[in-house]
Structure 1
Amino acid sequence: MASIGDVALSATANGTAVTSSVSSRQAADCFLLMAVGQIESAELPDHDNLYCRYSFVYGQDWAVAAGLEEGIGQIAQKRVDGSGSLLVWNLPLDISFKSTNPFGWPQLVVAIYGLDLFGRDVVRGYGCVHLPMTPGRHWLKLPVFVPQPSSRIQAISSWLTGRYPEFIELGFVARSRGREVTQVSTQGHVTVMLNIVTKDLKTLGYSAGQPALPVDMPTMAQSRVSAAAGEKKTS
């Protein structure tokens, strides 16, 4: 006798009865992670006219099910609005992963490039962050760092030749191996907004926690009003 979740299909062909049973509930063999959002803006006080490049780095047990694994944005100029200078890209992100093992959870790597005084294309900073594990909307702030020459002579040589220190492979930013010998300095941050959706994590025995609450990023005007209100209370 077929169970409630089964559907029995019978057919007759050339006098032979063929019976097949199809289960309405099939066990999942992998879980899905979907990320949709955008690299919104960056704040780098010492640089202007910059463009952004991104790439996703993930483990061997992961695979891209849909979407773009890497991309590049347009050149942006600073916008001064009273609370700081922003470089606005609004570079869209849309990708889906599938895996059976959470080890090697995907990371978003961001690289920022610009022109020096002689019009040469040089790196202005890197940033890296793991994709959130909980479903919902997330606002991420990535610290930006840039490799530094190991000596003053190399710094002068880099300025003369236009060959500043940079990572050959963008995925190197997301790995820990070899990073202990690099010298970097921080300068600014990048703001990223991501909407995360997961599927079949619980089916495979994994728990990602409670979904994130839908919180909107405060606007610059709201930040100035909050700051003014705080000053009145202190006075």
Structure 2
Amino acid sequence: MSISYPCVFLLNVTGQLEKSEFFDCDSLYVKYFYSYGKDWEVVCGLEDGISQIAHRSDDERQVFVWNFPLDITFKSTNPFGWPQLVISLYGTDVFGNDVVRGYGACHIPISPGIHRKRVSMFVPESASSLQKFIAWLTGRRPEFTDPRIVAQGRGREVTRVRSQGVVDMQLNIMMKDFAKLGYDCGTKAVVSAFPAIRKTRATSSENKQETEA
């Protein structure tokens, strides 16, 4: 009888983009997509999306709440190029122009379970005060032609940016066939710890019985 072994592993990502903390705008919406290596492929789910427009809350928190769902499944044979979630925030300025408010990216967690992430956002800055004034006046602020540069290191050292706000998210990670292909996804050490605990308890019980005898 022949035994078939898996040739790929699966990574399922669900969760939601929960909320954001920004202090210089009144409404925001978020665009997202995934950046990953050549050996990865999307099996099912949405690779990109755009949320509804959220307005600043009236309570003391002053946050923008989306609770926008995420659901995607990847397959691959190589962990190189592990997927990243790239986020772009957009809002309107004082003239009603739709401008970018921030970029951010984070790697998908490498262990199964429920994970909470807080992503710091940044926005590109103009090279001079004159360009900054012209951008503010015309509503055409600096932005990346391809947001995938956020998930890459090449060329980032020459980009002038400014930190601006954070985005909170919850990611639920499920993995399949990682161990069968020789990859440790972080659960092996936890499982192997239980026999050692039972053995320690059994030894303690035997020593206790010998002492009473």
Could you tell me the TM-score, scaled by structure 1's length?
0.78
The amino acid across from 2:159 in the alignment is: T
Q: CA deviation at 1:81?
A: 3.0
Deviation at 1:150, TM superposition (A): 1.1
Secondary structure of 1:81 counterpart = coil
Unaligned runs of 5+ in 2: 191-213
Taking the aligned partners of 1:60 and 1:80, their CA distance within structure 2 comes to 45
Q: Which amino acid aligns with 2:125?
A: Q
Number of equivalent positions: 189
What's the offset of the Cα at 1:80? Answer: 3.6
Match of 1:127 in 2: 104
> For the pair shown, which has the larger CA radius of gyration, 1 or 2?
1
Q: Deviations over 1:155-184 (max 9, x none)?
A: 011112211010111211101111111011
Q: Distance in 1 between matches of 2:137 and 2:57?
A: 31
Amino acid at match of 2:110: M
Secondary structure in 1 aligned to 2:187?
coil
CA distance in 2, matches of 1:202, 1:170: 34
**DSSP-derived class of the 1:156 partner:** helix
- For the 8 Å contact 1:145–1:187, the answer to whether it is kept is yes
Shift of 1:59: 0.5
Q: CA-atom RMSD, angstroms? A: 1.4
Native 8 Å contact 1:55 1:170 kept in 2? no
Partner of 1:110: 87
Q: 1:145 aligns with which of 122, 133, 142?
A: 122
Q: Deviations over 1:3-51 (max 9, x none)?
A: xxx3xxxxxxxxxxxxxxxx4x421101110000110100011112111
* Counterpart for residue 73 of structure 1: 51
Q: Tell me which residue corresponds to 1:19.
A: none
* 2:45 alignment partner AA: G
- Superposition deviation, residue 207 in structure 1: 1.0
Q: C-alpha separation between the residues in 1 aligned to 2:56 and 2:139?
A: 24
1:92 to 53, 61, 69: 69
In 1, Cα distance between equivalents of 2:121 and 2:38: 27
2:26 aligns with: 48
Aligned-residue identity in percent: 52
Which residue of structure 2 aligns with residue 195 of structure 1?
172
**Deviation digits for residues 127-158 of structure 1 (CA, Å, limit 9, x no counterpart):** 10000010000000000111111111110111
| Structure with higher helix content | 2
Q: Deviations over 1:206-227 (max 9, x none)?
A: 112139x9xxxxxxxxxxxxxx
Q: Is the 2:25–2:93 Cα contact (8 Å) retained in structure 1?
A: no
CA shift for structure 1 position 68: 0.4
* 1:210 matched residue in structure 2: 187
CA–CA distance in structure 2, aligned partners of residues 168 and 187 of structure 1: 19
Between the aligned partners of 1:143 and 1:64, the Cα distance in structure 2 is 26
- In the alignment, structure 1 segments of 5+ residues that lack a partner are 1-5, 7-22, 214-235
